[in-house]
Amino acid sequence: MIQAADDIVIKICGSAGDGSISAVEILNRAAALMGYHIMNFDAYPAEIRGFGKSVGHTRISRSVLLTTGKYTDCLVALDDVHAITELSTMSKRGVLIYDSKPPQYHQEDQAVAGFIEPGMIGYGIPLRELSTIAVRSSRSRNIVALGVLAALLHLQAEYFETAIRKRFSAKPETVIDNNINAFRLGFDYTLQNVNKYDELDFQHHVYSSNRDSIIMSGNEAAARACLDADLRLYAGYPITPATRIMEILAKELPLKGGFVVQTEDEISAAGHVVGAGFAGARSLTATSGPGICLMSEMINLAVMAEIPSVFIDSQRGGPSTGLPTKTEQSDFNIAAFGGSGDSPRPVLAPTSVPECYLLTRIAFDLAECYQTPVIILMDFFLSNRFEDIDLNQLNSNVFGRFTPQTAPLKDQPYLRFEVTDTGISPRAIPGMENMFHTVTGLEHDERGFPNYGKANHLKMTAKRHKKMETLVRDWQETGTFGPEGQLDVGFISWGSSVGAVMEAISLLNDQNIHSGGFFPRLLSPLQTSHLEVFSRRCKRIIVVEMNYTGQYANYLQVAISKRMERFTRVDAEPISSEDIVNWIIKDES
Amino acid sequence: MIQAADDIVIKICGSAGDGSISAVEILNRAAALMGYHIMNFDAYPAEIRGFGKSVGHTRISRSVLLTTGKYTDCLVALDDVHAITELSTMSKRGVLIYDSKPPQYHQEDQAVAGFIEPGMIGYGIPLRELSTIAVRSSRSRNIVALGVLAALLHLQAEYFETAIRKRFSAKPETVIDNNINAFRLGFDYTLQNVNKYDELDFQHHVYSSNRDSIIMSGNEAAARACLDADLRLYAGYPITPATRIMEILAKELPLKGGFVVQTEDEISAAGHVVGAGFAGARSLTATSGPGICLMSEMINLAVMAEIPSVFIDSQRGGPSTGLPTKTEQSDFNIAAFGGSGDSPRPVLAPTSVPECYLLTRIAFDLAECYQTPVIILMDFFLSNRFEDIDLNQLNSNVFGRFTPQTAPLKDQPYLRFEVTDTGISPRAIPGMENMFHTVTGLEHDERGFPNYGKANHLKMTAKRHKKMETLVRDWQETGTFGPEGQLDVGFISWGSSVGAVMEAISLLNDQNIHSGGFFPRLLSPLQTSHLEVFSRRCKRIIVVEMNYTGQYANYLQVAISKRMERFTRVDAEPISSEDIVNWIIKDES
Amino acid sequence: MTNQRSDDNNNPLLNSGIEYFSDEVKRSGIMNYRSTALPTWCPGCGYYGITHGLANALKNLHVNNNNLVIVSGIGCAGRYPFFVKGYGLHGIHGRALPIASGIKMVRPEFTVLAIGGDGDGLGIGGGHLPHAIRRNIDITYILFDNAIYGLTKGQASPTTPFGQYTKTTPYGNPEKPLNPILIGLAYGASFVAQGFAGFPQDLTIVFQEAIQHKGFSFVVVTTPCVTFDHANITYQRFRNIWKKIPEDHDKQNLANAMALAQDGNYYNGILFQDHRNAWHDVQQSIRKNTSITK
Amino acid sequence: MTNQRSDDNNNPLLNSGIEYFSDEVKRSGIMNYRSTALPTWCPGCGYYGITHGLANALKNLHVNNNNLVIVSGIGCAGRYPFFVKGYGLHGIHGRALPIASGIKMVRPEFTVLAIGGDGDGLGIGGGHLPHAIRRNIDITYILFDNAIYGLTKGQASPTTPFGQYTKTTPYGNPEKPLNPILIGLAYGASFVAQGFAGFPQDLTIVFQEAIQHKGFSFVVVTTPCVTFDHANITYQRFRNIWKKIPEDHDKQNLANAMALAQDGNYYNGILFQDHRNAWHDVQQSIRKNTSITK
Ligand SMILES: Cc1ncc(C[n+]2csc(CCOP(=O)(O)OP(=O)(O)O)c2C)c(N)n1
Ligand SMILES: Cc1ncc(C[n+]2csc(CCOP(=O)(O)OP(=O)(O)O)c2C)c(N)n1
Ligand code: SF4
Ligand code: SF4
Ligand SMILES: [Mg+2]
Ligand SMILES: [Mg+2]
């Protein structure tokens, strides 16, 4: 997309250990302090050893951000060999900051500056040299580079200093001083020596930041939601990209009286969650593809025995072990249809970091209200991207109020699975007086006793599905986005791809292609009526998602007869708005 | 359906231990010897203890049988209390055979004869008394009842005697004699004392039986296919209704040089199968709902690492532990979509006992040819029903010839995952000289090395799906059934429900409602072109399957725009042709 | 008319009672711990003895039914929760321990019992036992060991003797059985005991100790499957081979316990017990941010 | 143009060589058992030592590469098959043993090695170990025990010491670790040995014996994770605490082996070995329809 001069994508690239990631962290914090929005998504090396490369990637803008941007406006090379491999993502008029005095062992033909294409701009700065002045080694050249960036992009230096202080607050005063010194050296050198002729420019603006903002990743948001929702038990098994949720909760949850248990595998994690849910306590696990496979049988038990429980699946490239550090949206099938038998369960998908928070919170309510497992589909991109969040966003609830029904005491014999109009049976939990019952994964009658009768099976199957209908009725968010009325192009998308689609919609509307979106956060059960209303407004409907087979499109297509087109990608990288827009324009023109 | 006088459904009902099941076994064998077709599907008690009831259920007919019949024409009560609960399934002019001299403790108001409805016919026979004459206890009254049946239905006694001899061939001569004596007592008593006024009548016909026939269940057929397909390893974990396959192979496979291992769980079973498949040997496991859930991750590995392996899922009522002894077709979702990521794999569904054989055999070919896991969806009904099979049926192959491609030796460096037009890479297996490679569940390049590159992931994902397109092209069976040309009603069905639909189609055509069917045995990937051709011929399309949500209908609906209707049932019992016909006629008239 | 005879109504659990108990049994008070459901087990099954022993233990300890939760896996043994007056979760095959642990973690005041067969607990669920033991979570796990897969009708289990004929081992079981007591000890269980279904009174005593033990209690009950095992664990063969634990056995001595577990005898009673911190105690120190090793 | 720099081409495994080996190493012949792929492990990781020890063992035994199959789970250890010249299956987390068993069952002439980390083999895969051992299938299982989850970046594992700080145990590990040697013995393994990644020469000897053993061989290798464990298994701490197995230790004496496994020392070498029939031998009798107990 054509970005404004104050909407800039920055990458800092170096070897592992060069501090690319922590420099970007400081940059984000400084920008947020000045009232900018940021979206940060670092590239992770695939292996532990990672063969060295490490790239911090952030976008800073005055406007709310929906994507991390397809092209890099400004690339900082802390290590030329690695930086060369990032050049392919630069925008046409991109800016490269490189070390003008590379170390001795540096090979001529691997100087990044030699590879930039016509139209791009390169500024050589003696990063190592300045670092050596500050800390007697090249270790601080990441911070020197921040000084260069601040001077070049016209960002206020004082906010960087605050951010640096915060970053190193646990370290001795001298470390802080050295780093601030490194920053200043880069800043001053740039002011004095660089003849700026690029267009990237934040114009020294600082926006009255009464926003109560915080920088958070999707994993952090989900963990925070657990804490705020009074989670009692987190049971989990490490797996990328979900592990961080457990690591945060391992620290925080015990301080709030809850427990964290690292189980021997995902089956056990799911078992602990279902056990705690049966006992009336909020419980959750987070996993990814291979783990959700293993949980399938336990989730089915929770469906059959109607036990509240919440499962986060942070998707990664699949199938099997797949691409552990790449993003994809290909677990819709297993989330919605991965159980044997007819096994209905709500599937939610946040579209942004704040929604990781909001939907995790609401998931606990849903689980208790509808007495069901709830699956939340995050993905690598959402889990690991950082956004600046207005804390007020976390208090909104546009989804609905979901209140669990408790069975009145002493209502003997208690019918745990009483058939009602809503499918929901008033619930008693262990510990209550005299509301004895045993739940089971076998088909059962209203009391909970095993029963394989024909009429009973039909009745109970209908009851379990009825709960989903009730949920669809109760769910208030319509998922509709963009202008009203007739649309040339109606987009449907979900999860982390929605940001790019929103961006594409506004770009298309700018070009007079009337576009709008339907972005359900409740992926399944489907709000068929909203989909129908939306589809009637659209000349074309295009489903955008990150998988090969159009998993969600297939699900939607069953509900309406209008044929949908698919924009599906398995790029191992988030979809970009540019790609969507180009695809549409090619078609429409 | 309106059955002919020589198409009779018989139930023998008693307490567990009364010998209902073994009497039906003898009856089947005798009927088959006379050249009749049989279809036998006993009712299993749900619990081990089973609370006593045990029902043998068979249908005997001159024509090829497609269902076990909805109504019972003739009920033999070996125990009145249990038999009463079977009366509700009797046909309007049904025949009851009951004990005219019940034992002392028998309660007046629980005499089965007191419950038969007007129009039905009851014959009282002193079953216990005759048994006591033969063997000095009531133990043989099941055999006495066979004599009654033979005399009443006009079946030749001598074939029963052969069948009795065969049944007790392992027992001492006196046992055989006693039983034959019991049979004769029942037979003679009936001839002499019963004034037959019902319409059930086989007319003493014996059909020149040059059919080389054998009575087999679906599980037996699948096991036999394994033996004939040169299975090298069966790895499995017991679960109803699949256990019998393992039990047969445990006996037979070692005699053919193969191995059977009872593993600690289904994950391990699947792991053994995948290991053996990687090593180039044919291997299989059989399981049911809870087990297929647990295998999901291993099946995904086989998809990603392209390892031949065969999985039978004999479906039962679900979700979770569900209804272990009831039939259902609700695992299509998990079979086709139960893996994380985009995880294509062929899903097959036999529609009859002979097809359990044929499709299991072909599954091994598919697995090797397309280097993929293959899932076969059987169900409780198919696993446990017995049919008389013409052995010639087992030699046919209407599905296609699938020949695996072996990599030529010494073609270094060997590309295990070479991208080809068909998606199929010529395969080398361990043990071959110098074709070293390592396969992985990680995304990988053509050599098999982990690779998370963008272009590579797309290429390899496309390759895995391309194999499925190749399979669709190679698969020869069209699934089309019934008259050509335009159809008032086109049925689509799969698996064990197809028999009832075929029966319904012929009934409807008799009534001038032009009907036909599309019954794919390759459920997925979908033969879209066959479906399209079929759908264009149909005024209405109705998908018939035994689940609640229309799992297969949903899958099909994505492929064509014509809307389909659904006839879905979760009755815990096979669908009957009568129910289908009634539903259609109600609509059409 | 005929509808009234539909099989929905013939679910025996719904309509049956426990009238078959003698007045004496009813007076004993153990009926306070029995539901009204009729057990689904074969007549003569060892599980009746275990049930009796356990109901008595619950009675003797005056366990509060409202806080009593029984979790089971799948199998004949798995049906147990339905027959107890309390709360129950009849889970999935092999997962009684994770589920029971989850319950106990969030409701430490509950008396949580986990029940499962030998296939359930040592086969499919065998991966959970070491870790529940490591956590020393305060639940009582009762393994109903009949050395056979009962519910699925007689296949070999992880404790079936080498060479035994079963439905899946028609030429004799080719695998060496596991010794559940020994592996429980090797995992570091803080309470390990065993008993025989034919001695319900002795079981009662063991169960009482197990329930009272603070930490994970592992109780292995050898029990005859009268329907599918006529060769191995039968009342006749087993009643006489049980021994009293030697008088001088020190329950805190792990090496001795391991020796007893391997000497070929069956010992009735508690082989090992130690008093390290249970899971909740350790967690308590975490919350207080004090060192957990204290 | 820019396409040529796409990340598809920067897969280091594809383009790298093993040039970094010294001429001496290359001359030794162990390169016949190394693939050309560059290991993905951190510099200094104990796994290099194990790799060296194993390659030497394969060389000394003249194992036929064509019949060599290495199966692994997931984890840093799991990457091992890619670095060996032979056939490999990098499976899924915890399932190396079932897969390796399946391979060996149908191709008894193969040399099958199963490799996995402590999380892989004792955590998620812990349920398979007792049963592979019961079957006594003739494969060699090498547990790379670094007492940490390496690949997922430093969480507690089943062998992490009580009280240790890791990413998931910020207040100290609340669970008692498993003793892999002891449980291997308790399961009835026919071959149990241990070694240290810092002593590759000793490992070579152990591996040779393990591969030659007819039956299931269980080898536990203690190995430092230099990136995520600075407290527990470090070269400095561990090099000195290893002991020789006492001269008079009888490898066939299970009780003694169990005692050694529990006395707090680390013993380098083979603790236990017996010579009961391996799985294929037992199956052979089944096929011949002769009694398997003979
Ligand atoms: C995942 C799964 N696999 C298999 C089964 C079938 N199954 C039910 S019970 C059982 C074994 C029962 O044996 P055991 O645990 O010893 O209990 P018992 O019946 O002897 O009491 C099996 C294999 C199942 N229900 N779920
Ligand atoms: C089913 C599943 N769960 C979780 C993971 C994530 N995962 C990969 S490796 C690993 C643990 C690695 O630890 P270990 O087995 O000790 O091997 P190491 O890396 O230490 O060699 C985990 C949890 C996975 N790949 N699959
Ligand atoms: S099958 Fe065996 S274990 Fe099951 S109830 Fe009957 S006797 Fe008991
Ligand atoms: S993370 Fe640890 S185990 Fe993994 S390669 Fe690095 S040092 Fe080795
Ligand atoms: Mg058992
Ligand atoms: Mg490890």
State residue B110's pLDDT score.
76
Ligand nearest to the CA of C229: 3
**C93 in contact with ligand 1, CB cutoff 6 A:** yes
CA distances (Å), B378 to each of A337, A458, B326, B385, in order?
19, 21, 13, 11
> Most B CBs within 10 Å: which of A332, A340, A454, as the mutation test of the B interface?
A340
CA of A268 to the centre of ligand 5 (A): 22
More confident residue, B209 or D3: B209
Residue C11 pLDDT > 50, yes or no?
no
CB-nearest to C149 from B88, B238, B254 is B238
Q: What is the spatial order of strands in the sheet that C266-273 belongs to?
A: A438-440, C87-90, C68-72, C111-117, C140-145, C217-222, C191-196, C266-273, C242-244
Average pLDDT over residues B51-55: 78
State residue D228's pLDDT score.
95
**pLDDT tens per residue across span A174-220:** 999 999 999 999 999 999 999 999 999 999 999 866 567 899 999 99
C292–D172 CB contact, under 8 Å = yes
- Ligand 2 pocket by C-beta < 6 Å: which residues? A 237-239, 266, 290-291, 294, 321; D 74-77, 93, 117-120, 144, 146, 148-152, 157
**B321 in contact with ligand 1, CB cutoff 6 A:** yes
A240–D94 CB contact, under 8 Å = no
Pairing mode, strands A347-348 and A90-99: unpaired
State residue A216's pLDDT score.
96
CB-nearest to A275 from C8, C85, C101 is C101
CB-nearest to A283 from C10, C89, C102 is C102
Residue D16 pLDDT > 70, yes or no?
no
Residue B244 pLDDT > 80, yes or no?
yes
**pLDDT tens per residue across span A223-266:** 999 999 999 999 999 999 999 999 999 999 999 999 999 999 99
Nearest residue (by CA) to ligand 3, atom 2, is C225
**D144 in contact with ligand 4, CB cutoff 6 A:** no
| Integer Cα distance of D124 and A266 in angstroms | 8
User: Residue type for B347, please?
Assistant: V
DSSP label at residue B561: S
Average pLDDT over residues B309-326: 97
**D47 in contact with ligand 4, CB cutoff 6 A:** yes
| Best probe residue, ligand 4, of D41, D82, D146, D149 (max atoms within 8 Å of C-beta) | D41
Nearest residue (by CA) to ligand 4, atom 5, is D41
Residue B462, CA atoms < 13 Å, CB-side half-sphere: 15
**pLDDT tens per residue across span C111-124:** 999 999 999 999 99
**D226 in contact with ligand 4, CB cutoff 6 A:** yes
State residue B155's pLDDT score.
96
D98 contacts in B (CB within 8 Å)?
235, 263, 267-272, 275
CB-nearest to A265 from D10, D123, D152 is D123
C92–B84 CB contact, under 8 Å = no
**pLDDT tens per residue across span B409-426:** 776 789 999 999 999 999
Residue B424, CA atoms < 13 Å, CB-side half-sphere: 23
Chains in contact with C, counting 3 or more C-beta pairs less than 8 Å apart as contact: A, B, D
Ligand nearest to the CA of D45: 4
Upstream peptide bond of B241 is cis (omega within 30 degrees of 0): yes
This prediction has a pTM of 0.96
Q: Which residues contact C200 (CB under 8 A, 6 or more apart)?
A: C49, C50, C52, C53, C56
* Residue D65 Cα, gap to closest chain B Cα (Å): 8
Q: Which of A191-195, A408-412, B47-51 has the lowest mean pLDDT?
A: B47-51
Among all residues of chain B, which has the CA nearest to that of D38? B449
Average pLDDT over residues B574-585: 94
| Integer Cα distance of C287 and C285 in angstroms | 5
Pairing mode, strands A37-40 and A386-390: antiparallel
Ligand nearest to the CA of D153: 4
| Integer Cα distance of D94 and D97 in angstroms | 8
User: Residue type for A526, please?
Assistant: L
State residue C291's pLDDT score.
64
CA of B502 to the centre of ligand 4 (A): 62
**C200 in contact with ligand 1, CB cutoff 6 A:** no
- Phi, psi dihedrals of residue A558, rounded to the nearest 5°: -65, -30
**pLDDT tens per residue across span B11-41:** 999 988 889 999 999 999 999 999 999 999 9
Q: Which of A83-87, B73-77, B411-415, B446-450 has the lowest mean pLDDT?
A: B411-415
Among all residues of chain B, which has the CA nearest to that of C178? B264
Residue C290 pLDDT > 70, yes or no?
no
Measuring CA to CA, which residue among B205, B180, B11, B183 is closest to residue B95?
Answer: B11
* Interface contact A323, partner B, CB < 8 A: yes
**C77 in contact with ligand 3, CB cutoff 6 A:** no
* Interface contact A133, partner B, CB < 8 A: no
State residue D6's pLDDT score.
35
When pLDDT is cut at 50, 70 and 90, the band that residue C10 belongs to is very low
Q: What is the spatial order of strands in the sheet that B538-545 belongs to?
A: B480-481, B515-518, B487-493, B538-545, B565-568
Q: Are B481 and D46 in contact (CB under 8 A)?
A: no
D151–A51 CB contact, under 8 Å = no
A342–B549 CB contact, under 8 Å = yes
**C41 in contact with ligand 3, CB cutoff 6 A:** yes
Residue B2, CA atoms < 13 Å, CB-side half-sphere: 4
**pLDDT tens per residue across span D116-159:** 999 999 999 999 999 999 999 999 999 999 999 999 999 999 99
User: Residue type for A391, please?
Assistant: L
State residue B412's pLDDT score.
72
Q: Are C145 and C129 in contact (CB under 8 A)?
A: no
Q: H or E segment at C205? A: helix C200-212
Average pLDDT over residues C1-18: 37
**C35 in contact with ligand 3, CB cutoff 6 A:** no
CA of B43 to the centre of ligand 5 (A): 25
Q: Are C71 and C113 in contact (CB under 8 A)?
A: yes
* List of E strands, B512-568: 515-518, 522-524, 538-545, 565-568
State residue A211's pLDDT score.
65
Residue C9 pLDDT > 70, yes or no?
no
Mean confidence (pLDDT) of chain B: 94
Residue A106 pLDDT > 70, yes or no?
no
Helices A498-510 and A577-588 cross at an angle (nearest 10°) of 40
When pLDDT is cut at 50, 70 and 90, the band that residue B210 belongs to is low
Residue D4 pLDDT > 90, yes or no?
no
Measuring CA to CA, which residue among D153, C53, C125 is closest to residue A50?
Answer: D153
State residue A1's pLDDT score.
45
State residue B209's pLDDT score.
61
State residue C3's pLDDT score.
31
Q: H or E segment at A161? A: helix A157-167
| Integer Cα distance of C96 and A298 in angstroms | 11
Residue A163 pLDDT > 60, yes or no?
yes
Ligand nearest to the CA of D123: 2
With 0-12 / 13-18 / 19 or more C-beta atoms within 10 angstroms meaning exposed / middle / buried, residue D151 is buried
Mean confidence (pLDDT) of chain A: 94
| Integer Cα distance of C87 and A430 in angstroms | 6
When pLDDT is cut at 50, 70 and 90, the band that residue A396 belongs to is confident
Q: Are D66 and B192 in contact (CB under 8 A)?
A: no
Q: Are C210 and C193 in contact (CB under 8 A)?
A: yes
> Most A CBs within 10 Å: which of C106, C135, C286, as the mutation test of the A interface?
C106
More confident residue, A109 or A41: A41
* Residue A361 Cα, gap to closest chain C Cα (Å): 19
More confident residue, A105 or C11: A105
CA of D167 to the centre of ligand 4 (A): 15
> Most C CBs within 10 Å: which of B262, B272, B287, B325, as the mutation test of the C interface?
B262
Q: Are A34 and A153 in contact (CB under 8 A)?
A: no
Q: Are A364 and A282 in contact (CB under 8 A)?
A: yes
| Best probe residue, ligand 1, of C74, C155, C228 (max atoms within 8 Å of C-beta) | C74
State residue B565's pLDDT score.
97
Residue A558 pLDDT > 80, yes or no?
yes
Residue C16 pLDDT > 80, yes or no?
no
B561 contacts in A (CB within 8 Å)?
561, 563
CA of A246 to the centre of ligand 2 (A): 15
| Integer Cα distance of B314 and B236 in angstroms | 13
* Interface contact C184, partner D, CB < 8 A: no
Residue C142 pLDDT > 70, yes or no?
yes
| Secondary structure string (H, E, C) spanning D34-74 | ECCCCCCCCCCCCHHHHHHHHHHHHHHCCCCHHHEEEEECC
State residue D183's pLDDT score.
98
C42–B84 CB contact, under 8 Å = no
Q: H or E segment at C254? A: helix C254-262
* Interface contact A322, partner D, CB < 8 A: no
Ligand nearest to the CA of C147: 5
